[in-house]
């Protein structure tokens, strides 16, 4: 039997209409409320590697709070073992209660599928809050579904801005922040950005960086990894390279210029590139794989699990990347980082961390490389990057609800 429940009112064409939802077995009679048993039901959403690292300690802190009930939803945006399943095992995250199994596709296809499949989850579970992290398609899609059902949304890692709207991640950040009720930020620039966009300051909570929570919790275990022996990296300095942004790996001219710089750097040290299958496919597609193979000390390896990659970064002489999260991790590890982009949404990694923004031009990359080798890396730790960010998030939720 289908029961129908009136949920909310909205205005259409100057008249008041009533919106109705139908569900089998249960009526959706209240949204945005704490249950009769005083429990706060939180649906956590993850979809890609950075999300898993960020959500780990949040779920753990929620599960330790008597008043919070957690449901973990994996959209399936990343679905290979190294990019998904292994992270749940390594980071001690409970395996997802629900997997939407969306898989790959264009941005529109992926976002649309998540929206379609996630709605039924919310109608079934009737949460108090949907909590999303980061800036991937899963983040924006889940937030959109929740807010249209009248369910409050919390965005962890809110307010970060590259001011480059050609980046899909930037659009996801803007959309998610605009519709969220709780904006948990990692650094002061995020508050400035949000207030400039007209966000009510009462929604903004400076809690720190949950990625660093996970790093600190697993750092000692990661240092016991055998990855350096496995890759034969114990005999001299080496660098780590990660590239995945379409602006870098989808264009022959841009990537060829990056390789010009890497060709010089790899003469001094081995460079290890853990490459996602998409990156390998694109390198082959733009005709540069043969050039990489001719560089004797630039080594492509399969994607690594979290602990192995953390060990690889921690012992590196240098990291080159276009990833936002790696800028943050190298800041805490004290490892020099060269960001191969023209912008960063994480300026604190430059002002207080070990990061240099070097762009894609070979001369600038090499200038940053020489500076990184000549100057000691900074060791300052940004405020609240102390392993307690997830607990601060839980404290806010318990207080508000």
In 3D space, the residue among 41, 6, 34, 40 whose CA is nearest the CA of residue 22 turns out to be 6
Neighbours of 6 (CB within 10 A): 12
Give domain status of residue 346, yes or no. yes
Same domain for 148 and 276? Answer: no
* Residue in 244, 251, 252, 276 annotated catalytic: 244
- What pLDDT is stored for residue 75 in this prediction? 94
Same domain for 240 and 198? Answer: no
Same domain for 253 and 157? Answer: no
Is 218 an annotated catalytic residue?
A: no
Furthest CA-CA distance within the chain: 75
Same domain for 244 and 193? Answer: no
Query: Residue 5 pLDDT > 50, yes or no?
Result: no
Average pLDDT of 72-85? 71
Q: pLDDT > 90: what percent of the chain? A: 75
314-339 pLDDT per residue, tens: 999 999 999 999 999 999 999 999 99
- What pLDDT is stored for residue 81 in this prediction? 52
- What pLDDT is stored for residue 35 in this prediction? 72
Give domain status of residue 252, yes or no. yes
Query: Residue 31 pLDDT > 90, yes or no?
Result: no
Give domain status of residue 238, yes or no. yes
Q: Mean pLDDT highest for which of 102-106, 108-112, 228-232?
A: 228-232
Which range of residues forms the domain containing residue 349?
Answer: 219-374
Same domain for 326 and 282? Answer: yes
The answer to whether 62 and 94 are in contact (CB under 8 A) is: no
- What pLDDT is stored for residue 87 in this prediction? 75
Query: Residue 263 pLDDT > 60, yes or no?
Result: yes
Same domain for 132 and 262? Answer: no
Q: What are phi and psi of 360, to 5 degrees?
A: -115, -5
CA quadruple 92, 97, 102, 107: dihedral sign: negative
Higher pLDDT, 78 or 229: 229
Same domain for 367 and 390? Answer: no
Higher pLDDT, 11 or 285: 285
Same domain for 266 and 161? Answer: no
0.85 exceeded by pTM: yes
Higher pLDDT, 162 or 13: 162
d(CA 146, CA 130): 7
Query: Residue 268 pLDDT > 80, yes or no?
Result: yes
Give the CATH number for residue 393. 3.40.50.2000
240-252 pLDDT per residue, tens: 999 988 888 888 8
Give domain status of residue 14, yes or no. no
The answer to whether 40 and 68 are in contact (CB under 8 A) is: yes
Same domain for 254 and 294? Answer: yes
Distance, first Cα to last Cα, the chain: 33
Strand 2-12 with 15-24, pairing = antiparallel
Distance from chain centroid for Cα 29: 34
Same domain for 332 and 392? Answer: no
The answer to whether 330 and 336 are in contact (CB under 8 A) is: yes
Least confident of 32-41, 55-64, 142-151, 266-275: 32-41
The answer to whether 312 and 304 are in contact (CB under 8 A) is: yes
Instruction: Calculate the average pLDDT of the chain.
Output: 89
Average pLDDT of 172-190? 98
Same domain for 297 and 148? Answer: no
Give domain status of residue 110, yes or no. yes
Give domain status of residue 380, yes or no. no
- Treating both helix axes as pointing N-terminal to C-terminal, what angle do 49-63 and 210-222 enclose, rounded to 10 degrees? 100
Give domain status of residue 319, yes or no. yes
Strand 298-301 with 40-46, pairing = unpaired
Give domain status of residue 84, yes or no. yes
Average pLDDT of 206-233? 97
SS3 call for 325: helix
Least confident of 18-27, 79-88, 316-325: 18-27
In 3D space, the residue among 56, 172, 157, 54 whose CA is nearest the CA of residue 110 turns out to be 172
- What pLDDT is stored for residue 391 in this prediction? 98
Query: Residue 111 pLDDT > 90, yes or no?
Result: yes
Same domain for 179 and 46? Answer: yes
- What pLDDT is stored for residue 83 in this prediction? 52
Residue-by-residue DSSP string for 243-277: ---HHHHS-HHHHHHHHHHHHHHHHHSEEEEE--H
For the chain, how many helices (H) and strands (E)? 17, 15
Number of compact structural domains in the chain: 2
- What pLDDT is stored for residue 79 in this prediction? 56
* Host H or E run for residue 5: strand 2-12
């Amino acid at each position: 039997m289908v029961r129908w429940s009136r949920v909310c009112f909205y205005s259409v064409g100057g008249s008041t209409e009533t919106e109705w939802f139908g569900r089998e077995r249960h009526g959706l009679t209240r949204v945005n409320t704490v249950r009769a048993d005083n429990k706060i039901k939180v649906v956590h959403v993850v979809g890609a590697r950075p999300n898993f690292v960020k959500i780990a300690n949040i779920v753990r802190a929620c599960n330790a709070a008597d008043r919070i009930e957690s449901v973990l939803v994996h959209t399936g945006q990343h679905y290979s073992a190294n990019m998904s399943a292994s992270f749940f095992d390594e980071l001690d995250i409970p395996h997802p209660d629900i997997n939407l199994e969306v898989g790959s596709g264009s941005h529109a296809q992926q976002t649309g599928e998540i929206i379609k499949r996630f709605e039924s989850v919310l109608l079934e579970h009737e949460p108090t809050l949907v909590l999303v992290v980061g800036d991937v398609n899963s983040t924006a899609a889940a937030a959109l579904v929740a807010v249209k059902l009248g369910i409050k949304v919390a965005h962890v890692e809110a307010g970060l801005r590259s001011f480059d709207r050609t980046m899909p991640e930037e659009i996801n950040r803007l959309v998610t922040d605009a519709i969220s009720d709780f904006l948990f930020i990692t650094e002061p620039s995020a508050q400035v950005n949000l207030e400039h966009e007209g966000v009510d300051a009462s929604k903004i909570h400076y809690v720190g960086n949950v990625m660093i929570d996970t790093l600190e919790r697993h750092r000692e275990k990661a240092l016991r990894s055998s990855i350096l022996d496995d890759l034969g990296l114990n005999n001299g300095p080496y660098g780590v390279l990660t590239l995945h942004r379409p602006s870098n790996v989808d264009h022959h001219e841009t990537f060829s210029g990056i390789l010009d710089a890497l060709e010089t750097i790899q003469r001094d040290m081995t460079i290890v590139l853990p490459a996602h299958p998409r990156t390998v496919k694109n390198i082959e597609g733009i005709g540069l794989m043969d050039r990489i193979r001719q560089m004797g000390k630039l080594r492509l390896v399969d994607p690594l699990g979290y602990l192995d990659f953390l060990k690889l970064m921690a012992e590196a002489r240098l990291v080159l990347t276009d990833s936002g999260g790696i800028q943050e991790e190298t800041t805490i590890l004290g490892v020099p980082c060269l960001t191969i982009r023209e912008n960063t949404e994480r300026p604190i990694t430059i002002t207080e961390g070990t990061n240099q923004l070097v762009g894609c031009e070979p001369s600038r990359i090499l200038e940053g490389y020489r500076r990184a080798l000549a100057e000691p890396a900074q060791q300052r730790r940004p405020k609240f990057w102390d392993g307690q960010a997830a607990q601060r998030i839980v404290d806010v939720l318990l207080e508000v609800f």
